[in-house]
A and B are shown apart, each in its own frame.
Chain A
Amino acid sequence: MEPNWNDTQPIYRQLRDRIVTMILEGVVNDGDALPSVRQVAGEYQLNPLTVLKGYQALVDEELVEKKRGLGMYVKAGARKALLADERRRFLEEQWPGIAATIRRLGFDPKELMDQVNGQEARS
């Protein structure tokens, strides 16, 4: 797998974001080992310092911990912390706009939920 890096953000940052997405989506779970720096470097064709920097960013955010001699592990509660962060961001950044649209179009929240539940039941 050769990821397409964008040219607006540093690579280590993009690597960090990629791992965060994997934690959020449950591809890697709390307590799981992350692949070794060498493995990631080889797979993604990155220099090991970049990989290390990406991992370090996750350590600094307390999402990942280094176990001496064993490697990097997703910390217990990492997914929950990320999810809380995402929820907060949704409420702050996206929800006000969505709520305003709902109000403008005159929807009743219950009606909207019924609509969504109905769609889910059918699919």
Chain B
Amino acid sequence: MSPVIQAEGLSKSYAGVRALDNVSFTVEPGRIVGLIGPNGAGKTTALKAILGLTPYSGTLSVLGHDPYRERGRLMQDVSFIADVATLPRWLRVRDALEFVARIHPRFQADRARAFLSRTEVRQDARVRELSKGMIVQLHLALVMAIDARLLVLDEPTLGLDILYRKAFYEALLNDYFDGERTILVTTHQVEEIEYILTDLMFIQHGRLVLNSSMDAVQDSFVEVLIAPERVAEAEQLRPLYRREMFGKKLFLFEGVARDRLAGLGELHRPSVADLFVAKMKGAPA
């Protein structure tokens, strides 16, 4: 199967600042990819380029199309939830469904209605009467009812309470993801998606500092709770990152074989959040 997204030497500058600096990556179909980075690292620019919302240099192919030049064609197979909700406040839910049904050839209004019937969003409500969580549910209902091959989510759960956030990902995994569709998601709430992702990309200063499947991440990164008498020995293996917890030293190693580390202390799988901190601080600015 051909890749869903293929980027080669993707670059973009705003007023002399490199938002994307020669970025190359491939996203295969059926993956759930997390694009994680601090504010201003280039996440949104990358998503905009993929959605054809901004010109760029380098080559980029999304579902076999050049997103900037063939945006209309591309949008038949791509759906998108922005972090900024843009539905007009006077719009009624029912009319929103009807509107999308008229403009999008792949929209199935029944699916959106079925999804909304399991929420508290009422068909005759206006957007301004909905809570923030309900607006996100409406967005989700609209994009999940589009039979798209790529779904792009930019901070989809920002500002939502924990119940809505869990329900959001549950709906996504239950009703939408089918193993062939592809999801690209950016978020600051790494811990809530870390087990959902199949692939992980870290972006910093417009460059990818990590681009790997979760399986490979688990093979190459190991955190060790170092036994006190082994600290000097552990230092020799050049940990990527060191931290202390309750007076004990935790070292994060990249690419050191597990059997070499096993004698140094207790081995743990680092969380994505720990990995992120280590990579951001460990990488040269």
Whether A46 touches B195, Cβ cut-off 8 Å, given contacts A10-B218, A38-B177, A41-B173, is yes
Binds A, one of B5-13, B164-172, B239-247: B164-172
Instruction: Give the complex CA separation of A25 and B191 in angstroms.
Output: 31
Complex: how many Å from CA A50 to CA B31?
Answer: 12
* Docked complex: B226-280 residues within 8 A CB-CB of A: 266-271
Most B CB within 10 A of own CB, among A47, A48, A50: A47
A41 contact set on B, CB distance < 8 A: 173-174, 177, 196
B197 at the interface (CB under 8 A from A): yes
Closest-CB distance, A6 to chain B (whole angstroms): 9
Minimum Cβ distance to chain B for residue A8 (Å): 6
Classify chain B: how many residues form its interface, as a range: 20 to 34
- Whether B192 contacts A45 by the Cβ 8 Å rule is yes
Q: Cβ of A39: which chain B residues have Cβ within 8 Å of it?
A: 174
Residue A120 at the B interface, CB < 8 A? no
Mask: chain A, 28-67; 1 = CB below 8 Å from B; 0 = not: 0000000000110111111111100000000000000000
Provide the main secondary structure of the chain B interface: mixed
Which chain B residue lies CB-closest to A44? B195
- A side interface size, CB within 8 A: 18
Contact, CB under 8 Å: B267 / A8: yes
Determine if B195 and A11 form an interchain contact, defined as CB atoms under 8 angstroms apart: yes
Q: Are A47 and B271 in contact (CB under 8 A)?
A: no
Alpha-carbon distance between A43 and B192 when the two chains are bound, in angstroms = 13
Instruction: Tell me if B173 and A38 are in contact (CB < 8 A).
Output: yes
CB 8 Å contact bits of A7-26 with B (1 = contact, 0 = none) = 11011000000000000000
Complex CA distance for A122 and B258, rounded to whole angstroms: 52
Indicate if B16 sits at the interface (CB-CB under 8 A). no
Complex CA distance for A98 and B109, rounded to whole angstroms = 65
- Subset of 29 A-B contacts with CB under 8 Å: A2-B166, A5-B195, A7-B223, A7-B269, A7-B270, A7-B271, A8-B268, A8-B269, A10-B269, A11-B195, A38-B174, A38-B177, A38-B178, A41-B174, A41-B177, A42-B169, A42-B171, A43-B170, A44-B195, A45-B166, A45-B170, A45-B195, A46-B196, A47-B32, A47-B195, A47-B197, A47-B198, A47-B214, A49-B198
Query: Contact residues of B with A, CB < 8 Å?
Result: 32, 166, 169-174, 177-179, 192-193, 195-198, 214, 218, 223, 266-271
